[in-house]
Structure 1
Amino acid sequence: MSFTIEERGHPNTLSYRVFYKNSDGKYISPFHDVPMFADEAQNIFHMVVEVPRWTNAKMEIATKDPLNPIKQDVKKGNLRYVANVFPHKGYIWNYGAIPQTWEDPGHTDCDTGCCGDNDPIDVCEIGSKVCSRGDIIKVKVLGVLAMIDEGETDWKVIAINVDDPEAKDLNDISDVQRLKPGYLEATVDWFRRYKVPDGKPENQFAFNGEFKDKDFAIKTIKSTHEFWKALISQHSNAGELNCKNTCVSEAGSPFCFSPEEAKAVVDGTSPLGDAGSIPNSVDKWFYYEK
C-alpha cells in the first residue's frame, strides 16, 4: 500500500494544505482512510508525519476539515510555531499521528483520570532520518508517555521507523533508555515546557512522568482505535470533527465521500504557489530555570 501527497496553497501561509492520494490516485483522508496497521501480525503501525525533526511549524491533521489535510495550526489568526526552549531546536523527533485512532473527549481514562483530547494519538519517531512533511511511514512502537495537557489526556507514543538502521536494536522503552541516554528525559522536558514561552503553565504527566512499556503502549493505541471505530460508525458524537472518508464508510453513510466530492474539495483550494516568509521570531531562544 502506497500513498502520495499533493501540496496546495502557499507554504508558510494560511492557505497551505497537504492532501493525500492512495495508490489508485484517489483522494483520501489521512485520519480515516489510511489503515492503522501496516502489519497487524507484527504490531507495525502506520504513522503520518506532520512535523519533521528540527522544524518549528506546528503542522497537524486538520480533523475538522474535509479530507483532513495537513495544515498549520492557527492561534489568534496567526500561524503557530513552537518555541525553541533551550537547548531544544524545534521538535526533537519526527512528530505525527497514527491514523484511525481517536482520543475520545467523552471517555475518562482509568489510568490518568482525564478525558481524551479529541485528536488521533500522537507519535514521536526517534530514528536517525529526518522525515519529510506528509510522509507515511511504518513504525515499531516502543513505549508511551501520558501527558496531561490543560486537563486532557494526550498520549505520546515513542516509536521508530522499521526501516531505520537502529530499529533492530530498539524493541522496548528500556532499549531507548540504554542506547539513547538522555533522549527520554529530553522528551519529558520538551513536553513539560514547550508552551511556557506562550505564557502557559508547564504541562503535567501521569505516572510521575515515567514512560510505560511497549505492551502498555500497544494496548493504549488499540483502545484509541476502538474509540475511532465508534466515531466512524456514528456510535460516538463527532461534534465538529469531519469524518467524511472515501474508503471506510459504505455507500449511504453520511460519512461516505465520493471520489468526485473529494476531488471537488481539493479543486476548491489554490494550486501550490510561492512560499511565504517565516517570522524572524521563530529562531529566538527561550531560557528559564527548571
Structure 2
Amino acid sequence: MFSIRTAKLLLPRLSPLKMSHSATATARLLLTQQHLTVNRCNSTTNSHISPESIGITTQGTQFTADYEVYAVNKSTGNILSWFHDIPLDFNEEQGEANIVVEIPRWSNAKFEISTKLPGNPIVQDVKKGKVRFVRNLFPHHGYISNYGAFPQTWEDPTTKEEELQLFGDNDPLDICEIGTAIIERGSVKRVKILGSLALIDDGELDWKVIVVDINDPLAKEVFDIHDLYTKCPGLLETTRQWFRDYKLADGKPQNKFAFNGKYKDRKETLEIIKNCNRSWRKLVTGEITGDKIPSIENSTLVGTPGYNGGFETQKLIIRERKPDAPIPVEISKSHFIPTD
C-alpha cells in the first residue's frame, strides 16, 4: 500500500480556503482511503477513466519509425499516457485488471508503448535504424496471442528481483491475451489474470502474464493457469516454445526461462503484478530516478513530479496520417524450427 506521505502527494492540491473546511478535507481523505485498499491497487486520481472512454489518434505512416498511436479521452479529446494515465484498476480479489493491447494476434510488426516519448505513444520498435518485425514460426503467423501490457506497472531495472536476483527490463509488465477475438492495437480491455511465465531476455527479467478478456467465452471456464491444460490443450506448451524460439529466425540464440520454464499460478502472478505496480508508484512519485528510467510525464496524477496539467496536443500531433508503408516481402516467409 501507499504510505500516508505518498497518499498526500497524489491528492489534488486545494486552495487555502478549501483546506480550512474540515468537512471537505475529511470527506476527501475518506475517499482517498477507499482507493488505497489492499485489494484495489489502482491508487491514483484517474480511476474515473474507464476502458470504454479511451480512444486513439494516430499520425505518420504505419510500418515506419514516424508512426505513433496516442491514447485520447473520448469525452475531452485530451491525450493520455498509455503508461501512466490509463488506470490499472487492479482488483486482487477478483483477479482482474486493465490491459493495453499493442500487437494484435497473427500480426508481425513489433509495436510497444514508448517509455521515453512525451505522451508514451505506441510505436514500432526500431533497431539499427529499421523497424522490427517478428518472423513467422511455422505454423504460426507473427504473434500467437494478442500482446500488450498492464498500464501503471514497471519492471524495475534498478533493483534485483529477490528470488532470481535479476533486474527488470525497464518496461511495463507484458501480457498475452488468449481469448477468441483478434484485438485491435490501442484497445483497453478488462482481463482475468491466470498465470505467468518468467522469460530471461538479454539477462533481464521479462514476465509474460497470461490473461483472458473477461467478456470472452473462455473467461467463464478458466480460473487459474492449470485450467488451460484441459480447456486449451497445447496452448501453454506452444506459448513457451514460441517465446523460446522466436528470435532464432533472426540468427539469435534461444531465449531462456527462470523456474525451468514452469508457469506461475494465479496467486503467484497477482503478487508479481502488485510488485510491478509498487515499482511504478515509486517511479512516478520520484522515489526512483536516473538517466535511463522512463519519462514520468502524465496528465492525471495530480501532485506527482511529472504532472503537466494536460499534454499539449498541438505539440504532439504534428504529422498527418498517411497510407501504410509496405511490409517487407521476407516477413511473409515461414521459418521451420525443430520442436522438442
TM-score band, normalised by the shorter chain? Answer: over 0.9
Contact 1:66 1:265 in 2 (8 A): no
- The number of residue pairs the alignment matches comes to 286
SS in structure 2 opposite 1:20?
strand
SS in structure 2 opposite 1:9?
strand
| Structure 2 unaligned residues grouped into runs of 5+ | 1-49
Q: How far 1:40 sits from its partner (Å)? A: 5.7
Contact 2:92 2:270 in 1 (8 A): no
Query: CA–CA distance in 2 between the matches of 1:42 and 1:156?
Result: 20
Give the TM-score of the pair, scaled to structure 2: 0.81
Correspondences of 1:114-153 after superposition (within 5 Å) = 114-153=166-205
In the alignment, which residue of structure 2 is the partner of 1:280?
329
Contact 2:61 2:324 in 1 (8 A): yes
In the alignment, which residue of structure 2 is the partner of 1:65?
117
Name the aligned partner's letter for residue 243 of structure 1.
Answer: I
Query: CA–CA distance in 1 between the matches of 2:227 and 2:147?
Result: 20
Query: CA–CA distance in 1 between the matches of 2:254 and 2:200?
Result: 10
Query: CA–CA distance in 1 between the matches of 2:321 and 2:329?
Result: 23
In the alignment, which residue of structure 1 is the partner of 2:315?
265
Correspondences of 1:94-173 after superposition (within 5 Å) = 94-173=146-225
Name the aligned partner's letter for residue 319 of structure 2.
Answer: S
Structure 1 residue 220 and structure 2 residue 220: aligned? no
SS in structure 1 opposite 2:57?
strand
Q: How far 1:105 sits from its partner (Å)? A: 0.6
Q: How far 1:24 sits from its partner (Å)? A: 2.8
Query: Computing the radius of gyration over CA atoms, which structure comes out larger, 1 or 2?
Result: 2
Q: How far 1:254 sits from its partner (Å)? A: 4.1
Correspondences of 1:5-44 after superposition (within 5 Å) = 5-22=56-73, 23-37=75-89, 39=91, 42-44=94-96
Give the TM-score of the pair, scaled to structure 1: 0.95
Of 215, 223, 243 in structure 1, the residue corresponding to residue 296 of structure 2 is 243
Q: Could you list the per-position Cα deviations for residues 17-58 of structure 1 after superposition, in whole angstroms to 9, with x for gaps in the alignment? A: 100112432211010001111656523211100000000000
Identity %: 43
Query: CA–CA distance in 1 between the matches of 2:177 and 2:219?
Result: 11
Contact 2:285 2:305 in 1 (8 A): no
Q: Closer, same or farther in 2 for the Cα pair 1:232/1:95, shift >3 Å?
A: same
Query: CA–CA distance in 1 between the matches of 2:57 and 2:164?
Result: 38
Query: CA–CA distance in 2 between the matches of 1:38 and 1:204?
Result: 29
Contact 1:231 1:238 in 2 (8 A): no
Q: How far 1:262 sits from its partner (Å)? A: 3.1
Q: How far 1:97 sits from its partner (Å)? A: 0.0
Q: How far 1:266 sits from its partner (Å)? A: 2.3
More relative contact order in 1 or in 2 (CA 8 Å, sep 6+)? 1
SS in structure 1 opposite 2:70?
strand
Query: CA–CA distance in 2 between the matches of 1:225 and 1:212?
Result: 18
Contact 1:67 1:262 in 2 (8 A): no
SS in structure 2 opposite 1:270?
coil
In the alignment, which residue of structure 2 is the partner of 1:289?
338
Contact 1:5 1:21 in 2 (8 A): yes
Contact 1:31 1:120 in 2 (8 A): yes
Query: CA–CA distance in 1 between the matches of 2:143 and 2:338?
Result: 20
Query: CA–CA distance in 1 between the matches of 2:243 and 2:151?
Result: 22
Contact 1:28 1:262 in 2 (8 A): no
SS in structure 1 opposite 2:55?
strand
Contact 2:62 2:323 in 1 (8 A): yes
Name the aligned partner's letter for residue 262 of structure 1.
Answer: E
Deviates more, 1:231-240 or 1:207-216: 231-240
Query: CA–CA distance in 1 between the matches of 2:338 and 2:96?
Result: 39
Name the aligned partner's letter for residue 57 of structure 2.
Answer: E
In the alignment, which residue of structure 1 is the partner of 2:43?
none
Name the aligned partner's letter for residue 120 of structure 1.
Answer: P
Q: Closer, same or farther in 2 for the Cα pair 1:41/1:211, shift >3 Å?
A: closer
Q: How far 1:198 sits from its partner (Å)? A: 1.8
